[in-house]
Amino acid sequence: MMEKHRTSIEFPADLWEELKRRVPPRKRTAFIIDAIKEKLIRSSMKCLILCGGPGVGMGPLTKSIPKPMMPVGYKPILEHLILKLKRQGIYNFILAIGHLGEHIIRYFGDGSSLGVRIDYSIERTPLGTAGAIRNAERKLDSTFLVIYGDILFNDDLNIDKVIEFHRGRDAVATMVLAKVEDASRFGLVSIDNEGRVIAFREKPRQAVPGLVNAGIYVFDSRVLDYIPSSTPSCLEEDVFPILAEHGKLYAYVYKGYWVDIGAPEDYEQACRDFFDGVLS
């Protein structure tokens, strides 16, 4: 059951008189609510969600729809992500689309049905995870979020704390690391006591626990200096190693629920977790 909270808003006397003069009483509440929503949208941080990949590991399921549009429970993965972030005060989204991107545009439109604002950055050819950021640079602010469109996590990942962590270290980039019991499918990330990324390690040959890249980032606009403008490029291979070498890449450790939907068994697990209540 959703909790309800009562709150109050204090208007300057002259503004309240002007509001009463211009807006009929029966429309006043709706007017105020719409004004607050618009203010939240204008002031919230922008989040770029990468949705352009072909989803090769999920074939043949992704031959007809983009992987972020695959349903978990009653909503597409992408809708789960947007609503989770909205609950944490993120209202501005840019969806980087490529493969079958028209399905995403048709479903979400401008985002108004979800109470958010959605813009699109279209990739005519595959650009890679870093190239997608460069392609959207005119739509981005000085600090922004980037999230992969095929991951899911729980609401206990506090985005405000990740942003605060990032800003407190003058980082060019901060990646969220997920703690997993079996890191054999992922490369491991090593950090020092300050949270600075100091090494990337190859996938372990055996199932061992470790910290892995969760596909959730906070970036400073300076990251664009590390992304080539004319060729496709990858965050993990082309950008992060250089940032780490310069001491400008940090990591925030998240120990809650996280799943990377990279293979059919991951998708099946996410669906089970949703219906079992593990995934909130």
Domain limits of the chain?
A: 37-276
> Quick check: 183 pLDDT over 80?
yes
Average pLDDT over residues 37-54: 77
The two beta strands, 75-76 and 197-201, are unpaired
Average pLDDT over residues 158-164: 95
Q: Is 203 a catalytic residue?
A: yes
- Structure tokens, 85: 């972030």
Q: Which of 39, 63, 203, 255 is catalytic?
A: 203
Find out if CATH 3.90.1200.10 is the number for domain 37-276: no
> Quick check: 172 pLDDT over 80?
yes
The two beta strands, 173-180 and 117-122, are unpaired
Helix, strand or coil, per DSSP, at residue 182: coil
| 76 C-beta neighbours (distance < 10 Å), count | 22
> What stretch of H or E contains 13?
helix 13-22
What confidence tier does 20 reach under pLDDT thresholds 50, 70, 90? confident
Burial 200-227 (b: 16+ CB within 10 A, else e): beeebeeeeebbbbbbbbbbbeebeebb
Cβ neighbours of residue 141 under 8 Å, at least 6 residues apart? 45, 46, 221
Cβ neighbours of residue 12 under 8 Å, at least 6 residues apart? none
